Homo-oligomer: A and B are copies of this chain.
């Protein structure tokens, strides 16, 4: 029996999911929550196997909740169920440790199969989500800049030369160059201009 916790800020959605899983004899909805913090609590308390998590919620959002839950209860599988499949939603969720990512237009049948797969530790992704992911994997080192690297990139975007960025961060020019090389590798580019462009596309820069 798979113990499921549903986390979504809309009571309607929670009701719909409860109904859906009422038809499955191997899945039982043991708890519900209206925001991330509550979801973590319920999942831990009720010994959930799988958590169905919405992303956009008031208070603690789904990404933060997923990360926190993975930290505290690594055995719990988090399956994202949301309306949005933009890159800026998908990537942080996966990074945070979600095992799957479905869209709310999924059929009840798909949903149940996904929950069973998640319980077994397998990943299920909506097709459009797969695309985004492929795009990331193609770039080795996958898009996660360190804090320092983000600082450097921001300075470069603001017009700093390597020398100026070094002065701003109180480090040597050589370090700036090293950071930039790492940034180029991670973003899959070859110069500062396109690194800045990638930074904006991935919402790393403001």
Q: Name A's B-contacting residues (CB within 8 A).
A: 156-159, 161, 189-197, 200, 205
Q: Name the B residues within 8 Å of A196 (CB-CB).
A: 157, 193-194, 196-197, 200
A193 to chain B, nearest CB (A): 4
- Verify A159–B205 contact, CB threshold 8 A: no
- Verify A159–B189 contact, CB threshold 8 A: yes
Q: Name the B residues within 8 Å of A156 (CB-CB).
A: 193-194
- Verify B197–A158 contact, CB threshold 8 A: yes
A183 to chain B, nearest CB (A): 11
- Verify B200–A197 contact, CB threshold 8 A: yes
Q: Name the B residues within 8 Å of A189 (CB-CB).
A: 159
A157 to B196, CA, bound (A): 8
Among B159, B192, B193, B197, the residue within 8 A (CB) of A190 is B159
A197 to B158, CA, bound (A): 7
Q: Name the B residues within 8 Å of A200 (CB-CB).
A: 196-197, 200, 205
A195 to B192, CA, bound (A): 11
A157 to B193, CA, bound (A): 6
Subset of 19 A-B contacts with CB under 8 Å: A156-B193, A156-B194, A157-B194, A158-B197, A159-B189, A159-B190, A159-B191, A159-B193, A159-B194, A159-B197, A161-B191, A192-B193, A193-B196, A194-B196, A196-B197, A196-B200, A197-B200, A197-B205, A200-B200
